[in-house]
A and B are shown apart, each in its own frame.
Chain A
């Protein structure tokens, strides 16, 4: 099992450009999440999904959109990148099953720089 994978690993964007970050998991997890990690601020939830076709806003959703068309994939989009979106982005997934309740499995991260 690959677990949670993220594409790409690194990206540099210019202000105003758009891009999509892809997260994939092969654990058949129901829940998926996108976080951003900034120095001194820990991880903050951007958007999350409790199942295929459903998404919801997290703590810092502005400037981002998401889609979950397939259970295994969770896409994070930046329509018009801003320097404030320079960050490391982490995807995570978790399961409803009681044996692993509340444990989130994280991807390796995507380092995004917006100039």
Chain B
């Protein structure tokens, strides 16, 4: 079965501190993995995807197939990073359906 687990519902760090949001997945095969973010009063939007191997707003995420993880990291947190973060996976074939994790609410304290 396809499953995404985000073990932390809430995460609070100080501005300038490193941030790591954990994501583990269960999937038989090689899924596509994503991080979506929802800022206050804004729509859910794509932050980054593993296939692009990009850094967006200072965030990176590395796919670790051995540990089935896709943790999101940022070396120096900023107050504007406060948001709800969702890890999601999709099958490489078919209708691009997303399976979401439970979400982690990140709060950056000044």
Contacts and interface: CB of A to CB of B under 8 A. Distances in A.
Q: What bracket does the count of chain A residues touching chain B fall in?
A: 20 to 34
Interface residues on B, range: 20 to 34
B43 interface: yes
A42 B102 CA distance: 4
B102 A104 contact: no
A82 interface: no
Interface of B: 4, 6, 9, 32, 34, 43-46, 49, 51, 86, 90, 95-103
A44 B99 CA distance: 7
Contacts, number: 50
Given A43-B44, A44-B100, A58-B97, 14 more contacts: A33-B98, A40-B9, A40-B102, A42-B86, A42-B103, A43-B86, A45-B98, A48-B97, A101-B96, A102-B49, A103-B46, A104-B96, A104-B98, A106-B44
A102 B34 contact: yes
